[in-house]
Structure 1
Amino acid sequence: MSMTTPPPTPGGVPPGWYPDPATPAVERWWDGTTWSAHTRPAAVPPASSPGRGRTVALAAVAAVVVAALVVAGVVALDGDDGEEPGTAGPPATTSASTTGPAPTSPPSTSPAAEDPTRVADPLNGITLPVLKGWEKPKYISGGVPTIATTGTYPCPGAADVNCRRGTVNSRTVSGTDAATPEAVAKEDIALAADAFFEEDVLGNRPYGGIVSHKVVAARPAVVAGRTGYLVRWQLTTGKGPGAYVQSLAFSSPLGSESPVVVRFAFDAGPEGPPLAAMDEITKGILPIGSTTSGGVGAPLTPGS
């Protein structure tokens, strides 16, 4: 290998890395006497290579940005405000974000933007009232519009399962030939009883199953401006103080007037909700966008 010896320095050329005379883009090791076979990328590009200089400059800028992000992350995770990692507030805005126009936020679709006193059932065109001591459960089986009493307790028939003292939900009626509110309610009540107080989807029997029932109410009812019908059963369950279940059928206030059923499930006994709450919720069911019942007397006839 024939190469030019590094420029002389006082006392000779000491061992070290020097620009390779044959390949300026790399540095080669000078052992003090001759060039070795060891090379590495040049630490500083030659001034005669503008293209490479621009690439290195961009890389340096990128490195600075990455370093800044790392420092910001460390500050956010190790701040002196006592917060645990992952709970810090949003990252500080950069100077660029303060000079441009403020971003336009999309319309809020969070639960906070909804009426906290009502639960909407857009499919059936109604809203359910949230009474005092009731709430919108965060986790709803089947995704049906639901209100329930606050808090849970170990189910009497399955201590590792949590139960609610009261639950009400609404759903569209399907797969039936019933054409009147009375027929729909009488057909649905057994289904509602099984859904709430028999075996659940995981095979648990939270109330030990249904032992017997008796009808305690069966009458017309006005719901969301429609003439509907309700059937209420008192249940004796295998475990616990028993329960009440009710099916309330009426036609949707929407143009289709499809049959709707609202199901009620209350624990019996002194800790359960008062039965008067069933009537209060029934009176509080309104057409979406309305603050009144919307009129009285529309019949429940599918397709009418």
Structure 2
Amino acid sequence: MSMSPQPGWYPDPHAPHLERWWDGTAWTEHRRTPEVTAPVPTAAGPSGRAKAVAVTSAAVVLVAAIVTGAVVLSQGDDEGTELETGPTYYTEAPPSPTQTQTQTPTPTSSDPSADDPAVVTDELNGITLPLLDGWVRPKHVAEDDVVMTTDGTYDCPGDGGVCRHGLVTSRTITSNDERSPEALAKEDVKEAAENTYDRDTIGRRPYGGLESHEVVKSGPVAVAGRAGYFVRWKVTTAKGPGGYVQSTVFPSRVGTESPVCVRFLFDAGEDGPPLADMDRITKGIRSVDDPAGGGGVGSSVGPEEDLS
């Protein structure tokens, strides 16, 4: 049987050191410091009035415990909000306030962060790259400087081993005195194609060797607000569908502004990632200090002659 306590002052469920007015159906915003009435001792023990006060106090404590245990609190701050239901009398001892579990709201933020699942951060060069659908953070990858890969692996069509349909790497170019993004991109794309589609670092030919290449795109590009250059090759291999290799070079936004090279290595064919992902990722590269900063493939970018 459920009954609602009579209106009165009871210990505040949110602040037990205070009393709060229960109007018979809900808590109000009226609070006060509890009034303490000390019993007057006599030689024969407590007076009848003192006994009455003690009995009344015990009854108030019991009812207050029932109220406190019966009111269901919603999530929120110390003030809280009660449901519009009356308390319930229990046949057993009501739960104590310390036994009532409450949840703390988790703060949210719209600001991008390094933990954002849609962003990969290159702390060394001070940039972030968008993690598009179909791409994952690198796991069990032997290649250096990999920032993302396509999901899953397959058996390489050549000398064996495990291949991936797509890789994106980001590194600082420190072994070259050349500072021109154009010259560095043209030089790096050749190295990237040979290391990926011709012969790997341990001498295997996962695609049976690199047979030929053609330049399909090249030109200026703005990356994270910096003027850069990119070169994209289409390569033909002895085994498998071949692939696309792109080297994008631009000055770093941190430190000595050393050239940064972002490589894209995509298998061709229906199993390879969309070629447009190269442009989408490039356009989405941002500075970690200026996440709203400009970037992206310039309008002048288009097919050009073979630059090899």
Distance 1:238 1:284 in 2: 34
Name the counterpart of 2:70.
none
Q: Does the residue aligned with 2:270 lie in a helix, a strand or coil?
A: coil
Name the counterpart of 2:167.
167
For residue 139 of structure 1, report the CA deviation from its aligned partner. 2.2
Name the counterpart of 1:15.
none
Name the counterpart of 2:252.
252
Partner letter of residue 138 of structure 1?
K
Q: Does the residue aligned with 1:278 lie in a helix, a strand or coil?
A: helix
Q: Is the 8 A contact 2:128 2:285 kept in 1?
A: yes
Following TM superposition, where does structure 1 have runs of at least 4 consecutive aligned residues deviating by more than 3 angstroms?
none
Larger radius of gyration: 1
Distance 2:282 2:253 in 1: 15
TM-score normalised to structure 2 length:
0.56
Partner letter of residue 220 of structure 1?
P
TM-score normalised to structure 1 length:
0.57
Q: Does the residue aligned with 2:254 lie in a helix, a strand or coil?
A: coil
Q: Does the residue aligned with 1:151 lie in a helix, a strand or coil?
A: coil
Name the counterpart of 1:195.
195
Distance 2:256 2:294 in 1: 16
Name the counterpart of 1:177.
177
> What percent identity do the matched residue pairs reach?
54
CA shift digits 1:4-42 (9 cap, x unpaired):
xxxxxxxxxxxxxxxxxxxxxxxxxxxxxxxxxxxxxxx
For residue 115 of structure 1, report the CA deviation from its aligned partner. 2.3
Name the counterpart of 1:293.
293
For residue 234 of structure 1, report the CA deviation from its aligned partner. 0.5
Name the counterpart of 1:222.
222
For residue 162 of structure 1, report the CA deviation from its aligned partner. 1.3
Q: Is the 8 A contact 1:121 1:145 kept in 2?
A: no
Name the counterpart of 2:121.
120
Distance 2:279 2:215 in 1: 16
> Which segment is superposed worse, 261-270 or 280-289?
280-289
Partner letter of residue 121 of structure 1?
D
> Which segment is superposed worse, 192-201 or 264-273?
192-201
Name the counterpart of 2:133.
132
Name the counterpart of 2:142.
141
Larger helix fraction of residues: 1
Q: Is the 8 A contact 1:120 1:145 kept in 2?
A: no
Partner letter of residue 265 of structure 2?
A
Q: Is the 8 A contact 1:230 1:249 kept in 2?
A: yes
* Unaligned ranges ≥5, structure 2: 1-112, 297-308
Aligned residues: 184
Q: Is the 8 A contact 1:208 1:238 kept in 2?
A: yes
